[in-house]
Amino acid sequence: MKFLTNKYSPAELLGLFLVSIFPQHTWTIYMVFRDMPWLVENYYLTQAIGVMGYALLFALGESLILFLILLIFALLLPRQWETAKRLSLVYIAAYILIFWAMASQFYALFNSQIPGFYSALLIGSSHPLWILYGTSLFLIGISLIPILLWLRNQNFQTKTVNLMERISILSWMYLLLDLAGIGTIILRNIF
């Protein structure tokens, strides 16, 4: 444990854990509520609540895995950097990952289509593969903007850490919901 606490205080580790909890729980709760009409239509209300309980448990598990990945990343960063600099990089990397994971689902969720002009461009081009490579590079470039900001602007680092600390407060609420979910699961498995 010493190698952990040498680099990060218990409070910072707890903060990292709470930050890991936030995106997965927000998404799960949003999706379960979106799913609720279907669940209630096809199952009993108690079963639908059970589904939510398990979903929260699985979200907690997934958050723990995300936390471990971020922790490993955080431990690999040089100790010479200030803690705020290290943590802000970890947070930014995590949220870029989360952004793309959400984007891939939003694409399906809102039934998005490839814009017509883009399809026409691909069809009309004699080098469609180059266009696809170019688009990929462009999207990667967009993802790197926060990293560039992080590199050049110390204020951005501090603001990122502050924002994440605020988010952590909401994560406590999610942890309470997790407890309720676990309680539901225990009851369902006993009775």
Partner 1 sequence: MKKGLNRRDFLKLTSLLPFAYYAPPSTPPADDHSLPNILVFVFDAFSGRNTPFAGYPRNTLPLTEKLAERATVYHNHFAGSNFTTPGTGTLLTGTYPWTHRAFKPGNSVIKDFQNKNLFGLLDNYHRISYTHNPLVSAIQEKFQDDIDLLKPRQELAFGLNKGILDLFPNDQEVALLSWLRNFNIQDSGTTYSLILRFLYQYLGQKQSEDFPRGIPYMENNINFYLEDAIDWTLSTLKEAPTPFLGYFHYYPPHDPYHTRADFIDSFKDVPVPKLKKSDKFARFFRDNRTKTTEELEILRRYYDEFIRYADYEFSRLYNGLEQNGLLENTWVIFTSDHGELFERAKTGHMIRLLYMPLVHIPLLVFAPGQQERRDIFTATSATDILPSILHLTGKPIPEWIEGQMLPQFSSTAADSNRSIFSLDGRGTKFGYPLEQYTGTIQKGNYKLNYYHNYEWIKGLNRHYELFNYVEDPEELDDLASTHPDIAADLLDELRRKVDQADAPYRA
Nearer to partner 1 (CB atom), residue 107 or residue 133: 107
Q: Each residue of 168-191: b (16+ CB within 10 Å) or e? A: beebeebeebbeebeebeeeeeee
Nearest to partner 1 of 121, 170 (CB atom): 170
Query: By the criterion CB under 8 A, which residues form the site for partner 1?
Result: 23-24, 27-28, 31-32, 35, 41-44, 47, 50-55, 58-59, 62, 65-66, 97-98, 101-102, 105, 107-109, 185, 188-190
Nearer to partner 1 by Cβ, of 35 and 71: the residue is 35
Q: How far is the CB of 130 from partner 1 (least distance, A)?
A: 27
Scanning 78-153, the segments in alpha helix (DSSP H) are 83-109, 116-124, 128-152
Shortest spacing between CB 189 and partner 1, in angstroms: 5
Q: What is the DSSP string of 18-60?
A: HHHHHHHHHHHHHHHHHHHHHHHHHS-HHHHHHHHHHHHHHHH
CA distances from 171 to 73, 82, 167 (A): 21, 25, 7
Nearer to partner 1, 28 or 160 (CB): 28
Is the CB of 73 or the CB of 156 nearer to partner 1?
73
Distance (Å, rounded) from C-alpha 147 to C-alpha 149?
A: 5
Minimum CB separation from partner 1 for residue 190, in Å?
7
Handedness of CA 155, 157, 158, 160 (dihedral sign): positive
Sequence-distant (≥ 6) Cβ neighbours of residue 175 within 8 angstroms:
21
Smallest distance from partner 1 to CB 104, Å? 9
Quote the CA–CA distance of 184 and 174 in Å, as a whole number: 15
How near is the Cβ of 191 to partner 1 at its closest, in Å? Answer: 8
39 close to 48: Cβ distance less than 8 angstroms: yes
CB 46 to partner 1: min, Å: 9
**C-beta of 106 vs 130, nearer to partner 1:** 106
